[in-house]
Amino acid sequence: MSDHTTEKDSDPLLKNEYGVDRLRNSTASIDRCLRTVSETHDIGANTLVMLNDQKDTIIRIQGKLDNSINPNINKSNSVVTSMFKRLRNNKCITYATVLVCIAIILMLLVLIFTKK
């Protein structure tokens, strides 16, 4: 046996107090951990509620957009289609007019050169 025993090792009362202090420190550490877990849980729950509210807002906005934009898009599509049809018709009329003018000019040239 060693003669270097400390007072704490030899006195059971001091040994007991040391154990009680360590137990208090451990309990305080566990309490801090529990508070941290509780705060984390609360933050997570609040975040979940906020995300759910934002999801509902997005769904509501999407419904409003579907109701207000889709009819306008359909109307715009029909207007654009109508414009392209008119453009095609106008091009046909323009080409026909140019061809008729060329034909008239050719006929006049033929008449002028055949009279001479």
User: What DSSP state is assigned to residue 11?
Assistant: -
Q: Which domain holds residue 32?
A: 7-115
Let me know if residue 2 belongs to a domain.
no
CB of 18 closer than 8 Å to CB of 8: yes
Let me know if residue 76 belongs to a domain.
yes
Tell me phi and psi for residue 56, to 5 degrees: -60, -40
Let me know if residue 91 belongs to a domain.
yes
Let me know if residue 64 belongs to a domain.
yes
pTM above 0.95, yes or no: no
Let me know if residue 78 belongs to a domain.
yes
Let me know if residue 1 belongs to a domain.
no
How many domains would you assign to the chain? 1
Ordered per-residue pLDDT tens for the chain, 116 residues: 445 555 555 666 667 787 888 889 999 999 999 999 999 999 999 999 999 999 999 999 888 887 777 788 888 899 999 999 999 999 999 999 999 999 999 999 999 988 86
